Amino acid sequence: MNLVIQSLAPISDSHLRPLAALARSRETQRVDDTLLRLVDCDPLQRPDIDAYCGAHALDYAYVEPRAKLADFGLVAMDMDSTLITIECIDEIADFCGLKAEVAAITEASMRGEIKDFNESLTRRVALLKGLDAGALERVYEERLKLSPGAERMLEGARAAGLKTLLVSGGFTFFTERLKARLGLDYARANTLEIVDGKLTGKVVGEIVNADVKARTLVETCAKIGIDPARAIAMGDGSNDLKMMAEAGLSVAFRAKPVVRQSASVALNSVGLDGLLRLF
């Protein structure tokens, strides 16, 4: 296996020797100031590499030497705190003075401390009852920002022939706008019920939980005629784990510890376009 090391800042030459020794690699290739490739590494050394890279704000990934992005056919992304920097429901709650309360539930859910996502979402959405639906537009226009490297990652994925799927435990109000804005192929999320211009505190239809996310990835792969082993899944929270387990490559993006531990790759420092630089 090759070991790819990335950083936001230039990687000092002082890291070359210890990384090569820890990885048991005999050849280090400096691709550019912020990217190293160590050839023929021992994956059993991952715990040592993880500790070293964690201490020095370096991201690492073990990659098959001949692997190419074009080997894959789909990149599936979570939305909140993955494709975008915010948790939309927390920002919506800010407009009714309940951001801290809702954010605490969101955090516990994403860390896996609340096991029932349906219950977690239902509790949070109920707190939004009576809020003017115009708050959704304000969140989109004033607070929603793409994660670093998002557009570059999507451009690179499309250039390599991959389809794109946005699958979220958040809301269609945001996923549909992002789908149109970014030219995504598919999107799935929850629908907030709105009556007379106000949120009712309920969602309409099936809740997009961990099982539904995983099922959506598998169904999308079938739709485009590929095996799920040719899918890449990117996420940050515990409700992404089942989707990530279905994919051939799973990427934890600035993720909760439980997700980082389970993923094929963790991008803790670099942007989403760090995916492109693995290959």
Q: From the candidates 40, 59, 80, 94, which is the catalytic residue?
A: 80
Q: State the residue range of the domain holding 48.
A: 1-66
Predicted pLDDT of residue 264: 94
Domain with residue 37: its CATH number is: 3.30.70.260
Looking at residue 112, what is its pLDDT? 85
Give the per-residue SS3 of the chain: CEEEEECCCCCCHHHHHHHHHHHCCCEEEEEECCEEEEECCCHHHHHHHHHHHHHCCCEEEEECCCCCHHHCCEEEECCECCCECCCHHHHHHHCCCCHHHHHHHHHHHHCCCCCCHHHHHHHHHHCCCCCECHHHHHHHHHHCCECCCHHHHHHHHHHCCCEEEEEEEEEHHHHHHHHHHHCCCEEEEEEEEEECCEEEEEEECCCCCHHHHHHHHHHHHHHHCCCHHHEEEEECCHHHHHHHHHCCEEEEECCCHHHHHHCCEEECCCCHHHHHHHC
User: What pLDDT is attached to residue 161?
Assistant: 98
Read off the pLDDT band of 232 (50, 70, 90). very high
Residue 109 pLDDT class (50, 70, 90 cuts): confident
pLDDT at 35: 98
- The total domain count for the chain is 1
Mean pLDDT is lowest, of 34-38, 103-107, 220-224, 271-275, for 103-107
Residue 52 lies in a domain: yes
Per-residue pLDDT of 39-93, as tens digits, reads 999 999 999 999 999 999 999 999 999 999 999 999 999 999 999 999 999 999 9
What value does the mean pLDDT take over residues 231-238?
A: 96
18 within a domain of the structure (yes/no): yes
Cβ neighbours of residue 155 closer than 8 Å, sequence gap 6 or more: none
Mean pLDDT, rounded, for 194-212: 97
Reply yes or no on whether the pLDDT at 114 is more than 90: no
What CA–CA distance (Å, rounded) separates 265 from 268? 10
Q: What is the mean pLDDT of residues 170-177?
A: 98
Catalytic-residue membership of 211: no
Task: Read off the pLDDT of each residue in 181-195 and give the average, rounded to a whole number.
Answer: 98
Query: Quick one: pLDDT band at residue 190, thresholds 50, 70, 90?
Result: very high
> Which of these is catalytic: 59, 78, 236, 273?
78
Residue 202 pLDDT exceeds 90: yes
**Known catalytic membership, residue 80:** yes
Does residue 47 sit within a domain? yes
pLDDT value, residue 12: 96
Do the Cβ atoms of 155 and 222 come closer than 8 Å? no
Decide if 255 is inside a domain: no
pLDDT surpasses 90 at 158: yes
Q: How far is the C-alpha of 61 from the C-alpha of 266, rounded, in Å? A: 7
| Predicted local confidence at residue 10, as pLDDT | 97
Q: Does 250 fall in a domain?
A: no
- Tell me if 151 is assigned to some domain: no
Q: Is residue 252 part of a domain?
A: no
In this prediction the pTM is 0.94
6 within domain boundaries: yes
Give me the percent of the chain exceeding a pLDDT of 70.
Answer: 100
Q: What is the pLDDT of residue 252?
A: 97
The overall average pLDDT reported for the chain is 96
- Does the pLDDT at position 115 exceed 90? no
